[in-house]
Amino acid sequence: MVPEPHKMPGQYRPPHDERGPGQVGKEPLTPAYLIGSQMVDLWDEVCAVVSAHGKVEDAGSWAWSVHDRFERIHPFLDGNGRVGRILMNQLRLQLGLPWLTVRFEDREQYMARFAR
């Protein structure tokens, strides 16, 4: 049986996400119809910073902000947290910062950062 296109890995959330509107922290998820344009905007910013050799004021905070924005867009039905952490860490490495591991015992503190 072939899965529905929006349930295949790498596909954005469908326009009518069966899980409801959802939220990250206190903010609602990006409506599905805006995912594509917001991902393009986010990716354009990432590419601009990376191509400028990481010229940002606070690289660690910027990498976190990319992760935070990605989570608020929440483009996929599943795996957004994992993809967001990998994205953040790849940016950290490119900017000369160490990998940031979110340990299970630190999960509440990690999640609290999204509540802001």
Q: pLDDT per residue over 63-92, tens digit each? A: 999 999 999 999 998 899 999 999 999 999
In the chain, domain spans: 27-115
- pTM, entire model: 0.82
Q: What are the catalytic residues?
A: 74
Tell whether residue 66 is among the known ligand binding residues: no
Tell whether residue 89 is among the known ligand binding residues: no
Percent helix, strand, coil in the chain (nearest 5)?
A: 55, 5, 40
Tell whether residue 54 is among the known ligand binding residues: no
| pLDDT of amino acid 2 | 54
Using a 10 angstrom Cβ sphere, with 0-12 exposed, 13-18 middle and 19 or more buried, the burial of residue 109 is: exposed
User: For 10, phi and psi rounded to 5 degrees?
Assistant: 85, -5
Fold of 27-115: Fic-like fold (1.10.3290)
Rounded distance between C-alpha atoms, residue 26 and residue 5, angstroms: 30
Instruction: Decide if 29 contacts 74 (C-beta within 8 A).
Output: yes
In tens, the pLDDT along 24-69 reads: 767 788 888 899 999 999 999 999 988 887 677 888 899 999 999 9
Tell whether residue 10 is among the known ligand binding residues: no
